[in-house]
Amino acid sequence: MGKRGEKAAKGIGMRGARLIPDRVDISERPEIVESRERLGDWEGDTVHGQNANLVTLVDRKSRFTLVQRVFSKTKEEVANAMIELLGQVHTVLTVTLDNGAEFADHVRVSNETGASMYFAKPHASWQRGTNENTNGRIRRFWPKKFDMATLTEQEIEDRILLLNLTPRKVLGGLTPFEDFTSKRVALIT
């Protein structure tokens, strides 16, 4: 058996998942979430930078994106950011996360937002593909090793607004903002 097979056989691939108490696997998530028929099903992750990170949440249906900078990836700081971000929107039903230790305080997030929390399988980033795609778009603004601590809050808000006001083919030419709010935005007047 090769090294990869040996690691899988020993369960090393589940190491991150074991750090998360009360973890609920993605296999338990309601099927409607997969269909992208409703607003309020979010995917979450962190985008790493020098001296700071971004907590990102993306609605699966509309691709509407919420972002907050954190200066450490402690479970408390990431949970606080998620609670604040989800408190800004009208619909929060589920959140699907990866198995990073920064999400270990997910029960508190669930209690404060009412969201059911689920975790993708380890090493299965495609199970949160919307968030991974969005993080790639965010990397166009701020590449790896960029010092995110140097950004102003206004710079972050402006870039995320631009992201949310960019028409998407997958949304039939609507912007994530338009799809999420059901309001049309005149970008050219």
Strand (E) or helix (H) holding 54: strand 53-59
Q: Which two tokens stand for residue 133?
A: 């795609």
Question: What pLDDT digit, counting tens, does each position of 19-61 carry?
Answer: 799 999 999 999 999 999 999 999 999 999 999 999 999 999 9
**Residues 6 or more apart whose Cβ sits within 8 Å of residue 157:** none
Q: Which residue has the higher pLDDT, 4 or 158?
A: 158
- Reported confidence tier of residue 160, pLDDT bands at 50, 70, 90: very high
Strands 65-70 and 53-59: antiparallel
> For residue 93, which phi and psi values (nearest 5 degrees)?
-110, -50
14-181: CATH number:
3.30.420.10
What's the confidence (pLDDT) of residue 129?
83
Of the CA atoms within 13 Å of residue 103, those in its CB half-sphere come to 25
Distance CA 85, CA 120 (A): 21
User: Average pLDDT over the chain, rounded to whole?
Assistant: 90
User: Does the reported pTM lie above 0.75?
Assistant: yes
DSSP, res 25: B
